[in-house]
Structures are given as C-alpha cells and as structure tokens.
Amino acid sequence: MSPWQFLADLTNPDLAFLPKALTIAVLSAIMCGVVGCYVVLRGMAFIGDAVAHAVFPGLAIAFLFSGSLVLGGTIAGVVTALLVTVFAQNRRLKEDSVIGIFFVAAFALGIVIISRAPGYAGSLQQFLFGSITGIPDRDLYVVGATTIAVLLTVFLLHKEFVAVTLDREMARALGLRVFWLDLMLYVLVTLAVVMAVQTIGNILVLALLVTPAATARLLTDRLAVMMALAPAIGAGCALVGLYLSWSWDLPVGGTVVLTLTGAFLIAQLAAPRHGLIARLAA
C-alpha cells in the first residue's frame, strides 16, 4: 500500500477507527516521549514496566463493569504509585524492591479479576497487546485532555523534576519536596502508560516510554533538545508503524515497537557524536 492510499483510508468515513487510532497513538507517543526523558535520565525504566503492570486491575474492573478503561487504569496506577512512594520512604528497602512487590501484586490482581469475565482469553489478549478497532470517541477526548495536562505539568515542574532526577539528596538539601515530586512523576508515568495501553498494549508499552527518549539521548547532550526530539521520534514511529501494520496486516503494537527499535539502532550506529561510526572514527 502506498502512502497515498493510506492517506485515503485515513479520510474514508467507513474506516473512522483508523484516524482515531492514529491520533491516540501520536498523542500517547508525545506524552511517553516527554515523560520518558525523566525515566531514562533517572535510570528508572523498570518503573515504566511496573506501572504497565499496575494499571491492569483498573483496566480489568473497568472492562467488567463496561466503564472507561482510561479512568480505571489511571485510578489503579495512581493508587499503586501512592503506595510505592509511601513505602519507599523506608530506607531499609530499596525503591526497586518496593516497586517489584506492589506492581507485580497489582498485575496478579488484574489477572484474577479479568479471569472472571466472559471471553477471558480474548479480553486478556486485547489488554496485553492492544487493539485499534474498539477505541470509543470519549477516550479520544480523554487522551487529548490528558496530553495537555501532562505537558503543562512538565512545563511547570521541569526544574524540580530535573533536580530530583539528577541528585535526589541535593534536591532534598535545597528544600525541594522530593516525596511529592516522586509521586507526581509516578502519576505522570502512569497517565502516559494508560493512554498508550489501548493502542500498543500492556506488554509493549514500555518501548513507547523508553525507546524514543533513549534514541534522543544518543542524538544530543542537551536536555531541552532531548525533550523535543523524544516525542517527535515517538510520534513519527507511531505513524510509520501504523502505516506498515495497516499495509501488511500486522499487529499494531508490535509493528510500532519494531519501528521504534529500528530508529534506536540507526541512532546507535549513526548518531553524530555518540554513534558507533563516530566513535570508531574518533
């Protein structure tokens, strides 16, 4: 399928789900790209994976009661993030240990809940690997509003997030409220993950959170540029991935992730200063 045919399908009224899927994929990529910069710089990729597990019980409950998956996932993720932030204040336990306990427990709870639903296998597959065909209009508005809220929060708290990301103890010494900043960052990660789950799936959502930011990290040493590049890379790969999956009848989530991985490998090879070619030539 040529790009022009794909563009025609996007404007075809009989394929109304396709532009909705593209819009949600691009908005999710923008959110994940911006928030993912903090995740990559802080070395907390495990948290992104854990949040994807944490939202699962909320998704399952929302599915059982025919509610909003976005709302259900957000509530579950925020509650779990709050528990992690509180228990991680105990310095006898490392943060990753607390995260592992609570987020995996949340995922297990989601498995138990969804197993009680009719059509268990199909529902589980939709949650784990995403679906572009059943996105309701209301979720499109929710994702748009959430994207604006996330970007506004990042704009307002950027300096504080950077301070906590680079040196938590120094941030605490400067009088910053590290507990609340940690909690806010977890909430932002949760929102980004929940918005992306519908298109790319629970299993693969970590790629949308980490890979664009990691790719941008290879291309620049400036944080401001990195935070502009990461969402652009994510959105571009989401568009290309959706085009390829639609053209060749491939799973959307997997195709988008492979497109993101391809962009990362290109940057790893050809980045101006940090790529393999540049290092060999130095």
Residues 116-149 pLDDT 10s: 766 655 555 566 666 665 677 777 888 889 899 9
Q: What is the pLDDT of residue 119?
A: 60
Provide the phi-psi class of 249: left if phi over 0, else alpha when psi is between -120 and 50, else beta: left
Q: Looking at residue 98, what is its pLDDT?
A: 74
Q: Residue 124's domain is classified under what CATH number? A: 1.10.3470.10
* Residue 241 falls in which region: left (phi positive, over 0), alpha (psi -120 to 50) or beta: alpha
Structural domain of residue 137, as residue ranges? 3-281
pLDDT > 70: what percent of the chain?
Answer: 88
pLDDT at 91 over 70: no
Mean pLDDT of the chain: 83
- Does residue 164 register a pLDDT over 80? yes
- What token pair was written down for 65? 């009661």
Average pLDDT over residues 85-90: 71
Helix (H) or strand (E) holding 143: helix 137-166
Whether the Cβ atoms of residue 121 and residue 115 lie closer than 8 Å to each other: no
Tell me how many domains the chain contains.
1
The fraction of the chain above a pLDDT of 90, given in percent, is 26
**Residue 43 or 226, more confident:** 226
Most confident stretch, 49-63, 96-110, 233-247:
233-247
Confidence of residue 90 (pLDDT cuts 50, 70, 90): low
- Mean pLDDT, to the nearest integer, of 94-122? 73
Residues 207-221, mean pLDDT to the nearest whole number = 93
Residues 6+ apart with CB under 8 A from 226: 37, 213, 216, 217, 219, 220
What is the residue whose two structure tokens read 């399908």? Answer: 9
